[in-house]
Structure 1
């Protein structure tokens, strides 16, 4: 990629037909803000954590056909700064040409969301619009994708090229809608196409809609309705870890909440292949309930890490651990599958288990690193999209 700027004269309005992976587009004073939950869902919850993560465009990308050799994108990012922790690097934009990674870049400046996890507060500091620039692209008709930073809220201000562009066809690829936690959102992945759902989608040759919501996969009814109302050929729900993190409910509430979530999804997708995935291995919460707390000793060393703050003895009173949740999810799916042949279950430890934890431990105790994201994505593609998998024969010529 040539990083020298060149004159770019054609400005194209950013419209819904150029964007994939977003469920709603908000018109702001600066431009377009992609959302991964619809406005009706957002209006039903005042949680600032949910507001932050659903506006982070994990899996959202601009897709267009063009002969342009140069592309510029003005954006207003919102970056995160955790009090007491080292500054986070700027979010990464991935540029793909005909499905192959051809460049990466970042946008400096922008707003800063200051998060004090100890105090439970957030403060938004203003900042300027920045410009992402890619030049030296092949001078031929091609499909260009710009994947937005998966953990950086991104308002799209202007799109410029040195040749006309148009929306790209989807070639009839099946749509896979995935809902999960921060791991599905992409925490600690290297870039937006390196989060495990994006890797799995590329391997299987399907279109991804990613509803991985960091800290917010909490069986909320409005999320279930968002899944229900979104067109999809394949659906997966990775459930459990956030319920433990937040210490949100006990076993008595968890089972009916899962059943209600599945009922709502089935109202809109009665026969769609539906895969329930339990949590990957997380040693600190396998048999110790939540809540999850910051590791203050690590914070004193300038590291962000987490610890389990619950008491294993509290399992007797219904507090949830990952092993309890896996047993309950497996039981619920087995019961329902007798009348729902398109419902399937996958133990998350098949994606990342004991041997993986020994080789690729979770750096902060909770989230996989870039290498583990790749492993999880490859394993999910190999299991879910296998000839005998939940999504058998769903792909359309990926690399598997």
Structure 2
């Protein structure tokens, strides 16, 4: 329908979304999910529920001749009591493959989290408007993507434009399906196109489906089945840091869990390039097991930091550290690759290692900053998408 200011209102539907695996119809609009409902129901963990509903890698994608675009959304912003305020979620406008604008939506609902106790308090808020004007005109339609904030749950209400829109065509780019932890999710990245997977996907010329879940890369069988059932040409799995900082399992359980996870993924992607990525360097957990914990002294001084609380001596009893996990992942991939020539291994320290830690230390001792996301994304693209990389293109 046409509104009073001559903008056309288009309801946001699933065919306008890329990077989401399921959409939920809410009382307000459409909520993108990165895990389907059946998977979410198998273990209704609040942390995972928050992470999978934050639309990292999800974008509204359409073709249009419009020069003005508005998106009505209801964001849910998280406030951590005692910690510095989090920046507003950023929406990235990409026109014909180029970043062309950035903006935020004020207001919205809030969830306040007490980091010391884990208690939460939710407060409702109003719908907001995202507006981009001055897009290139002309008679030819252009491809427009609005990348949703990677760290802010976002309900989509409507799209308004000054020319008709149609869903973006599927195109012929390969689809890269990636699973990982908060680093893959995009913690501390500047914007949704600046997470390391989004940067790597752009450089590699592929379409990203990002199943990076903050705190949620735990070798869950339901996640393996989701990866199995999601269409993709390229698959990567980044394993390690969450298993350690959750103190989830010992070596006896870890090795069969990795095999089972890979077996399940291979049921749906029997010959696709499959890249297992070991953890980047994280000094607090290199040789010290979990569980990880918030540094309460740091919180009292107004900033977020993490610490490892395990005993290094417990490695002898099978407790996991990043060093142990890298050694075991390398061994597992080498063993399986004898019968699976499309299975590959990447040591995460090739993406961020000791020299990088000295120059660009992890600000909270666990997550990279924006500059390090760029570094990791560029290095991953150079390694994986090169002519000799695991994700080398056809004819490379």
TM-score range, shorter chain: over 0.9
Shift of 1:87: 1.3
Following superposition, the deviation at residue 123 of structure 1 comes to: 2.3
1:20 corresponding residue in structure 2: 18
Cα-to-partner distance string for 1:205-244 (whole Å, 9 max, x where unaligned) = 0000000000000000010000000000000000010001
C-alpha contact 1:285 1:322 (8 A) present in aligned 2:
yes
2:369: which partner in 1? Answer: 369
1:169 aligns to what?
A: 169
Secondary structure of 1:333's aligned partner: helix
Q: How does 1:192-203 map to 2 (within 5 A)?
A: 192-203=192-203
Query: For residue 121 of structure 2, what is the aligned residue in structure 1?
Result: 123
1:230-269 maps to which residues of 2 (within 5 A)? 230-269=230-269
Aligned length: 391
Per the alignment, residue 133 of structure 1 pairs with 131
In the aligned structure 1, how far is the partner of 2:81 from the partner of 2:250?
31
Q: 2:108 aligns with which of 101, 107, 110?
A: 110
CA 1:395–1:375: 2 relative to 1, 3 Å = farther
Distance in 2, Cα, partners of 1:34 & 1:133: 20
1:395 to partner: Cα distance: 10
Which residue of 1 is the match for residue 90 of structure 2?
92
Once residues 238 and 395 of structure 1 are traced to their aligned partners in structure 2, the CA distance between those partners, rounded to angstroms, is: 27
1:69–1:136 Cα contact (<8 Å) kept: yes
Return the TM-score normalized by structure 1.
0.96
TM-score between the two structures when normalised by the length of structure 2? 0.97
C-alpha change, 1:394 and 1:198, in structure 2 (3 Å) is farther
Name the structure 1 match of 2:60: 62
1:29 aligns to what? 27
Question: CA, structure 1 residues 66+201, in 2 after alignment: closer, same or farther (shift >3 Å)?
Answer: same
- Structure 1 residues 8, 290: CA separation in 2 closer, same or farther (over 3 Å shift)? farther
Shift in Å at residue 7 of structure 1? 3.3
Q: How far did 1:127 drift?
A: 1.1
Separation (CA, whole Å) in 1 of partners of 2:78 and 2:314? 34
The alpha-carbon distance between structure 1 residues 358 and 20, as it changes in their structure 2 partners (threshold 3 A), is same
Matching of residue 145 in structure 1 with residue 145 in structure 2 = yes
Question: CA contact under 8 A between 2:116 and 2:296: conserved in structure 1?
Answer: no
Q: What is the match of residue 320 of structure 1?
A: 320
1:103 offset after TM fit, Å?
A: 0.6
- Cα distance in 1, alignment partners of residues 95 and 204 from structure 2: 18
Please say if residues 112 and 124 of structure 1, whose CA atoms lie closer than 8 Å, have aligned partners that are also in contact. Answer: yes
1:191 aligns with 2:187: no
Runs (5+) with no aligned partner, structure 2: none
Alpha-carbon deviation of 1:394?
5.4
Change beyond 3 A, Cα 1:382–1:39? same
Measured in 1, the distance between the counterparts of 2:41 and 2:288 equals 34
Superposition RMSD on alpha carbons, in Å? 1.3
User: Which residue is 2:38 aligned to?
Assistant: 40
1:293 and 1:308 in contact (8 A); partners too: yes
Q: CA deviation at 1:170?
A: 3.1
**Hey, what does 1:219 align to over in structure 2?**
219
* 1:43 alignment partner, SS class: helix
Q: Equivalent residue for 2:352?
A: 352
Q: Do the aligned residues in 1 keep the contact of 2:11 with 2:157 (CA within 8 Å)? A: no
Q: Distance in 2 between matches of 1:79 and 1:178?
A: 25
What secondary structure, in the 3-state scheme, does the structure 2 residue paired with 1:388 have? coil
Classify the secondary structure of the residue corresponding to 1:146: strand
Q: 1:199 to 1:395 in 2, by over 3 A?
A: farther
> Structure 1: where are the runs of 5+ without partners?
1-5
What SS class does the counterpart of residue 42 from structure 2 fall into? coil
**Contact preservation (8 Å) 1:8, 1:160:** no
**Matched position secondary structure for 1:374:** helix
Aligned-pair CA distance for 1:343:
0.5
The 1:359–1:222 alpha-carbon spacing in structure 2 relative to 1, beyond 3 Å, is same
Q: CA offset at residue 128 of structure 1?
A: 1.0
Rounded Cα–Cα distance in structure 2 between residues aligned with 1:123 and 1:24: 26
